[in-house]
């Protein structure tokens, strides 16, 4: 594999996936997530740092809904598979708990320490541990809705497209997918600065792109993106939704008006917003 370097960067793709995605409010918005997440970690229903593997980042946090759980939301964080942490999005746990779901925020190893293929396998390895914890906590299995934002949206789709029967889990433990502002065709990233850590070539990028290998019989999915994100992100969302639908799978799609990559998450936290309503509808469908 050829090492990525500065001369390999395509300015069009760099703008589409890096430069033009940024917004001035992001640092303050992320600081708000950090503060709200710290408060959630003090609540009685919260349990942190539950291990599912040997890597230091193979851990998850758990938040218990009041009363009987309808299912489990497993949330995967953003960061282009090379930055950020599950703890930043503990602030979303009460949102899903208020809808009757137990919630896990799931960590995973990052590139370049792990390859993207290994990272994705790590995310898959979290699923049996989540099921086992649900059995201990609730006395029975819970249907899992995998959810994520950006890189986490990619991972959520990968888990929704996984052949779980081949891994000894039948029926599939995944009842639904919530994919927010994800990247599902990774080939454009090969010619961006992001590839310094990802270390992809054309073949490995295509292999890591779920848009090319959607199975039939996959669970219902919601693909949402902010309308103010770059045209590349809008196209990623539309193409992934089209591929999911073309395989005969239940598909919902949303472009949240006026939202960018992180204001979309702020909107998700607003019960009156279209994105919150769309996520609620998907959760209802997933556990019906």
The pair of three-digit structure tokens given for residue 244, joined into one six-digit string: 């999911």
How many Å separate Cα 243 from the centre of its chain? 18
In sequence order, what are the residues at sequence separation of 6 or more whose Cβ sits closer than 8 angstroms to the Cβ of residue 278?
222, 224, 252, 254
CATH superfamily membership of 6-286:
Alpha/Beta hydrolase fold, catalytic domain (3.40.50.1820)
What are the pLDDT tens digits along the chain (288 aa)?
344 444 489 999 999 999 999 899 989 999 999 999 999 999 999 999 999 999 999 999 999 999 999 999 999 999 999 999 999 999 999 999 999 999 999 999 999 999 999 999 999 999 999 999 999 999 999 999 999 999 999 999 999 999 999 998 878 999 999 999 999 999 999 999 999 999 999 999 999 999 999 999 999 999 999 999 999 999 999 999 999 999 999 999 999 999 999 999 999 999 999 999 999 999 999 999
Distance between CA atoms of 232 and 117, rounded to whole angstroms?
23
| C-alpha pair distances (Å), 69 with each of 65, 188, 202 | 6, 40, 43
Domain ranges of the chain: 6-286
| C-alpha pair distances (Å), 158 with each of 85, 155, 279, 286 | 19, 5, 18, 17
């Amino acid at each position: 594999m050829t090492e990525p370097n500065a001369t390999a960067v395509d300015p069009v793709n760099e703008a589409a996936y890096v430069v033009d995605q940024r917004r001035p409010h992001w640092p303050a918005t992320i600081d708000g997530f950090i503060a709200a997440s710290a408060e959630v970690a003090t609540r009685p229903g919260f349990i942190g740092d539950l291990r599912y593997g040997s890597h230091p980042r193979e851990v998850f946090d758990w938040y218990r809904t009041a009363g009987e759980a309808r299912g489990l939301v497993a949330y995967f964080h953003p960061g282009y598979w090379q930055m950020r942490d599950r703890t930043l999005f503990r602030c979303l746990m009460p949102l899903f708990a208020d809808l009757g779901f137990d919630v896990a925020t799931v960590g995973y190893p990052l590139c370049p320490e792990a390859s993207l293929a290994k990272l994705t396998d790590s995310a898959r390895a979290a699923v049996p541990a989540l099921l086992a914890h649900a059995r201990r906590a609730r006395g029975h299995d819970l249907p899992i809705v995998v959810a994520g934002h950006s890189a986490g949206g990619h991972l959520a789709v990968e888990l929704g497209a996984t052949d779980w029967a081949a891994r000894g889990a039948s029926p599939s433990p995944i009842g639904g997918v919530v994919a927010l502002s994800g990247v599902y065709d990774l080939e454009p990233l090969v010619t961006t600065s992001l590839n310094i850590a990802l270390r992809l070539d054309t073949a490995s990028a295509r292999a890591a792109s779920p848009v090319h290998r959607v199975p039939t019989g996959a669970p219902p999915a919601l693909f949402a993106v902010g309308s103010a994100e770059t045209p590349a992100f809008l196209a990623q969302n539309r193409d992934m939704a089209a591929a999911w639908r073309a395989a005969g799978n239940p598909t919902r799609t949303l472009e949240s008006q006026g939202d960018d990559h992180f204001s979309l998450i702020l909107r998700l936290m607003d019960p009156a917003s279209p994105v919150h309503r769309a996520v609620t509808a998907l959760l209802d469908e997933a556990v019906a």
